């Protein structure tokens, strides 16, 4: 089979599209022929050697995708031709992937392979953030960092579904427009005095902040009201400053960490959360931006495009 691989760490030049042996199935795995694969910043970090990575050289990145079953490996609940997807199975950047049956998410005809590969990681992240990390309540006001990103766009829509008012933050007027298109009530730019603008909307501060930037964590707390919450789930802008527990106590504020893998901890959880997400999509309650597609053989171009920060929607790879 063909796969997008790398044997050394570095920039996108280390990527190689080569022939490698087909996966050898373990007892608890089925074989999936990939139709669409999600590309994420974690794959860039793996390529650079600064993120957890499974296997041996040539390494294969990717954890998200959709396709059809080509070998059910004696698992009676699956048959050849079944449409399936996954959000957390390694070595996805290949024509064939061995997937643990507990990580398989059944895919109905109403959800395309491209949609599944576009939405699962970021959509399930937005889902747990708004329903578990912070249990969004009707009438609240929440602040979403990086509002034009994949998680941000879906997080706006889920927060609105749950009855919250949404303030977004982003880096450019073009990206602000995307935030408004997804339903944000206000979108402010990082280069402006966004903290003052937030207080003009909610004088006491917001109920919750979703911070995926990291370096903005201190400012996130500054715009959070007493008894409010900051959910920290990414470091796209660098490591945050240490948090002073006295500040948390004085304002009765809460800091919550967020990581998707803590919530995708069983077959039942994966299917339950994905089913809810897919239902919102098919009912038109969540709308997705059209993904940008590259051939799997064009993986270098896809990585370069993702790192350019010019993309606003999802990037997917097509074998």
Q: Give the predicted TM-score (pTM) of the model.
A: 0.92
Instruction: With CA atoms as reference, report the closest residue to 37 among 149, 118, 142, 130.
Output: 118
Looking at residue 260, its pLDDT comes to: 92
230: three-class secondary structure by DSSP: strand
Report which of 236, 234, 305, 291 is spatially closest to residue 15, judged by C-alpha positions: 305
Asked if the model's pLDDT at residue 51 lies above 90, the reply is: no
CA distances to 55, 83, 226 from 34, rounded to whole Å, are: 19, 10, 48
For helices 173-181 and 150-161, angle between their N-to-C axes, nearest 10 degrees:
40
Which residues, listed in sequence order, are joined to residue 256 by a DSSP beta bridge?
A: 231
Pairwise CA distance, residues 179 & 173, whole Å: 10
pLDDT category at 289 given cuts 50, 70, 90 is confident
> What SS3 state is found at 61?
coil
Instruction: Look at strands 315-318 and 292-295 and give their pairing.
Output: parallel
pLDDT at 157 over 90: yes
Among 56, 153, 163, 66, smallest CA distance to 115 is for 66
Per DSSP, which regions of the chain are E strands?
2-6, 15-19, 29-39, 59-60, 65-71, 83-86, 96-100, 105-106, 141-144, 165-170, 186-189, 206-211, 224-232, 254-257, 292-295, 315-318
Q: Please, which residues bridge with residue 167 across strands?
A: 143, 186
Residues 6+ apart with CB under 8 A from 292: 305, 311, 313, 314, 315, 316
Mean pLDDT of 45-58: 89
Neighbours of 69 (CB within 10 A): 20
What is the overall mean pLDDT for the chain? 95
CATH of 138-257, one of 3.40.47.10, 3.40.980.10, 3.40.50.970, 3.40.50.720: 3.40.50.720
Cα torsion at 198, 203, 208, 212 (round to 10°)? Answer: 20
Of 45-59, 148-162, 246-260, the least confident: 45-59
pLDDT in tens, 1-42: 999 999 999 999 999 999 999 999 999 999 999 999 999 988
Of the candidates 159, 67, 151, the one whose C-alpha atom is nearest the C-alpha of residue 116 is 67
Q: How confident is the model at residue 48 (pLDDT cuts 50, 70, 90)?
A: very high
Confidence of residue 130 (pLDDT cuts 50, 70, 90): very high
Three-state secondary structure call for residue 243? coil
**Structure-block tokens of residue 14:** 């280390």
For the chain, the structural domain boundaries read: 2-120+264-318, 138-257
User: May I ask the CATH architecture of the domain 2-120+264-318?
Assistant: Alpha-Beta Complex (3.90)
User: Of all residues in the chain, what percent carry a pLDDT higher than 90?
Assistant: 89
**Regarding beta strands 165-170 and 292-295, do their DSSP bridges make them parallel or antiparallel, or are they unpaired?**
unpaired
Q: Is the pLDDT of residue 80 over 90?
A: yes
Give 139-149 pLDDT, tens digit per residue.
999 999 999 98
């Amino acid at each position: 089979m063909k796969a997008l691989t790398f044997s050394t760490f570095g920039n996108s030049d280390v990527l190689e599209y080569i022939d490698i042996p087909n996966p050898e199935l373990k007892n608890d795995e089925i074989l999936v022929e990939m139709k669409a694969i999600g590309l994420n910043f974690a794959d860039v970090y793996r390529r650079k050697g600064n993120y957890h990575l499974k296997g041996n050289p040539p390494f294969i990145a990717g954890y998200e995708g959709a396709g059809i079953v080509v070998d059910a490996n004696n698992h009676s609940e699956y048959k050849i031709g079944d449409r399936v997807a996954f959000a957390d199975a390694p070595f996805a950047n290949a024509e064939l992937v061995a997937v643990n049956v507990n990580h398989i998410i059944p895919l109905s005809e109403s959800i395309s392979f491209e949609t599944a590969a576009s939405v699962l990681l970021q959509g399930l992240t937005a889902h747990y953030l708004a329903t578990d990390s912070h249990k969004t309540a009707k009438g609240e006001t929440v602040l979403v960092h990086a509002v034009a990103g994949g998680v941000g766009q879906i997080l706006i829509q889920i927060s609105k579904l749950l009855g919250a008012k949404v303030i977004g933050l982003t880096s450019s007027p073009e990206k602000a427009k995307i935030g408004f298109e997804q339903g944000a009530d206000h979108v402010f730019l990082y280069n402006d005095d966004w903290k003052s603008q937030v207080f003009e909307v909610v004088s006491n501060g917001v109920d919750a902040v979703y911070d995926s930037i990291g370096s903005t964590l201190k400012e996130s707390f500054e715009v959070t009201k007493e008894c409010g919450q900051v959910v920290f789930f990414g470091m796209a802008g660098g490591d945050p400053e240490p948090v002073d527990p006295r500040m948390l106590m004085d304002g009765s504020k809460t800091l919550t960490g967020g990581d998707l893998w803590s919530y995708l901890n069983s077959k039942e959880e994966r299917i339950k959360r994905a089913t809810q997400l897919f239902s919102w999509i098919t009912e038109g309650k969540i709308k997705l931006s059209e993904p940008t597609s590259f051939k799997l053989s064009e993986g270098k171009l896809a990585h370069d495009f993702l790192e350019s920060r010019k993309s606003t929607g999802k990037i997917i790879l097509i074998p």
